[in-house]
Amino acid sequence: MGILTVLWEKWVEFRRDFYKITVAAMISPLMYLIIFGMGIQTTSHGEPYLHFLIPGIVAMATMTGSFSAIAQNMSVQRLYEKALDQVMVSPTPLWQFILGQVIGGSLRGLYAGGVILLLTLPIRTDLVFNGLSIFIMFLNGTVFSTIALTLSFLAKSYTDAPRFTAYIITPMSFLCNTFFSTDQMPAGFRQVISMLPLSQASAMIRGIANGEAPEAFGFIVLFAYLAVFGAISVVFIYKKKNL
Amino acid sequence: MIEIKGLTKRFGDFTAVDHLDLTINTGEFFGLLGPNGAGKTTTISMMSTVLLPSEGQILVDGQVLDRKASAQKRKLSVITQEYSMRQDMTMDEVMEYQGRLYYMPKKVIKEKTAELLEFAGLTEFRKRTVRHLSGGMKRKLMICRALMIEPEILLLDEPTAGMDALSRRQMWNLLRQVNGRNMTIVLTTHYIEEAQALCDRVALINRGKLQKLDSPDALISELGAFAVDETTENGLVTKYFHQRQEAIDYLTAAGSQASFRATTLEDVFVECAGRKLGQS
């Protein structure tokens, strides 16, 4: 029930800011597709680079969509609007509030990824996006929603949200299997980068797009992040002394 | 009944609330008074579980109040000092969100929203987002939101701050009405006359510690029910008297630079808080 309340709140927000959310979800990925995929025409492993790029951009869009939907919103609600107080004092179980935020954030990520898929439809690539791809996009969104929740509970000021994006989301966007394969990175660094959630989400979505089965290891990494950051978020909302 | 036992809140080295013990009876209108930084808002924040105590506990009807205590929290509603609302929601959405958080049926949410917004004179603004409301309107909306769920306990942190005199009087009448329905009300306010007019008992706190606890009349009697304000070289000095005749005698001796009046709760507050601040 509490989950539905949070999803309703997210829906109100989405309905009101539909155009802003949609345009924001499109701009950066579209630029990357145009510049790297179409402007600088090149190939990767004998295939047009666009075939490599599109699955990575889709994974990246789910990450940024989910993260920004939660990080900015929760930081403002907690520190500026104080609207979180309304939830804290209510009888809605706080774990349901967290779960609602995670699902809501993930749906926003899924929407952002879906917009990119729609935009790339006219490009005939023969890439495959199926139900499993959608599930991985959703799972990737849940991971970044929980990371965003954790960081928004740690934020000291609502202006911290853009800093989190600069410190976490931007480096991951460029390093984690979006624009080039992590296989090309130096040993050591490669292993670290490949353990990051976006690297695994990109690899799995790209694998499916090319007709391959995703590796179980990718799911393990994503579920591990989800479990750790989900648990931290729940502990914070129940135990943090000064919310 | 609310029982506050040894309630303490520290922020680093600073102790905002220091081993506070209070019992607030069911249906009581209880005031929490103190100078700025006395710990009033921190106490209310702990009573609404937004802050967790460093020590001590709060019991509602004998059960510990914490963030997991949904049954206890169901009885509570809070009006915070700040406008704690989503700024981008309309009034209708703010009310619906509150109703949903308290598991109210949608039909009841609609009915109560219409009734409360009408009562507060906000109906014509119901589609306006919070961001575009005046301070007074936001305050009224917070009150509507708090009353929407018909709480057993209403926590009010400076509920009339920013309201004009007429709206404040309307608010007093409303609070008297809801208190008449056996609703327990805990009020913090800077308007001492508000506490004197409304509260059955008041607690004066300073630096997080309880200084005095009694009914406004008893606190005034303790200080002296009659006051003489005298203008001296050192400014305005007030003397308090238990007997009217004593005050009149003093007034007569003081001459034209003095005036006679009844002692108010504000005098008690100034004496208590002023003395403590003076000591610091």
- ipTM of predicted complex: 0.88
Residue in B50, B52, B87 nearest the CB of A81: B87
Where are chain B's structural domains? 1-75+152-214, 85-150, 219-279
The structure tokens listed for B132 are 């575009």
| Closest residue by Cα to residue A32 from A59, A54, A65 | A54
Q: Which residues of A touch B101 (CB under 8 A)?
A: 2, 5, 86-87, 90-92
Instruction: Give the chain B residue whose CA is nearest to the CA of A79.
Output: B84
Mean local confidence (pLDDT), B200-205: 93
Looking at the DSSP bridge assignments, the partners of residue B209 are B206
Q: Which residues of B touch A79 (CB under 8 A)?
A: none
Q: Report the pLDDT value the prediction gives residue A43, as an integer from 0 to 100.
A: 64
- Asked if the Cβ–Cβ distance from A242 to B51 is below 8 Å, we say yes
- Of the listed ranges A27-36, A146-155, B51-60, the least confidently predicted one is A27-36
Q: Confidence band (pLDDT; 50, 70, 90) for B47?
A: very high
- Asked if the Cβ–Cβ distance from B52 to A239 is below 8 Å, we say yes
Mean local confidence (pLDDT), B112-120: 91
In this predicted model, which residue has the larger pLDDT, A79 or A137? A137
Q: Report the pLDDT value the prediction gives residue A163, as an integer from 0 to 100.
A: 86
Total domains, chain A:
1
Is the pLDDT reported for residue B188 higher than 50?
A: yes
Residue in A4, A5, A85 nearest the CB of B84: A85
Instruction: Give the chain A residue whose CA is nearest to the CA of B85.
Output: A83
> Considering chain A, what is the average pLDDT of its residues?
90
3-class state of residue A211 by DSSP: coil
Q: How far is B257 from B247, CA to CA, in rounded Å?
A: 14
Q: What are phi and psi of A48, to 5 degrees?
A: -55, 140
**What distance in Å separates residue A237's CA from the closest CA in chain B?**
8
**What is the domain range of residue A201?**
2-239
DSSP structure class, residue A167: I
Q: How far is B164 from B251, CA to CA, in rounded Å?
A: 35
The structure tokens listed for B201 are 């008992």
Residue in A4, A85, A238 nearest the CB of B68: A238
Q: Confidence band (pLDDT; 50, 70, 90) for A128?
A: confident
Q: Confidence band (pLDDT; 50, 70, 90) for A123?
A: confident
State the Cα angle at A165 between A162 and A167, rounded to 5°: 110
Q: Confidence band (pLDDT; 50, 70, 90) for B54?
A: very high
Residue in A83, A91, A238 nearest the CB of B85: A83
Please state, for a pLDDT cut of 70, what percent of chain B lies above it. Answer: 98
Q: Confidence band (pLDDT; 50, 70, 90) for B84?
A: confident
- Of the listed ranges A1-10, A154-163, A216-225, the least confidently predicted one is A154-163
Is the pLDDT reported for residue B280 higher than 70?
A: no
Give the predicted TM-score (pTM) of the model. 0.88
| Interface residue of A81, A84, A86, A236 to substitute, partner B, most B CBs within 10 Å | A86
Mean local confidence (pLDDT), A176-184: 84
Q: At the topology level of CATH, where does B1-75+152-214 sit?
A: Rossmann fold (3.40.50)
Residue in B48, B52, B68 nearest the CB of A85: B48
**CA-based R_g, chain B, Å:** 21
**What distance in Å separates residue B119's CA from the closest CA in chain A?**
22
Instruction: Give the chain A residue whose CA is nearest to the CA of B74.
Output: A91
**What distance in Å separates residue A54's CA from the closest CA in chain B?**
35
Q: Which residues of B touch A101 (CB under 8 A)?
A: none
Q: Report the pLDDT value the prediction gives residue B279, as an integer from 0 to 100.
A: 46
* CB A58 within 8 Å of CB A117: yes
Q: Confidence band (pLDDT; 50, 70, 90) for B81?
A: confident
**What distance in Å separates residue B136's CA from the closest CA in chain A?**
17
**DSSP state string for B237-275:** EEEEESSHHHHHHHHHHHGGGEEEEE--HHHHHHHHHHH
Mean local confidence (pLDDT), B201-230: 91
Residue in B74, B84, B88 nearest the CB of A91: B74
Mean local confidence (pLDDT), B217-238: 88
Mean local confidence (pLDDT), B234-263: 86
Query: What tens digit of pLDDT does each residue of A16-43 get?
Result: 999 999 999 889 888 888 887 777 667 6
Query: What tens digit of pLDDT does each residue of A198-240 get?
Result: 999 999 999 999 899 888 999 999 999 999 999 999 999 999 8
Please state, for a pLDDT cut of 70, what percent of chain A lies above it. Answer: 97
Mean local confidence (pLDDT), B235-256: 86
Tell the burial category of B180 from Cβ atoms under 10 Å away from its Cβ (0-12, 13-18, 19+): exposed
Is the pLDDT reported for residue B278 higher than 60?
A: no
| Closest residue by Cα to residue B154 from B199, B180, B185 | B185
Is the pLDDT reported for residue B180 higher than 50?
A: yes
- Asked if the Cβ–Cβ distance from B101 to A239 is below 8 Å, we say no
Q: Confidence band (pLDDT; 50, 70, 90) for A60?
A: very high
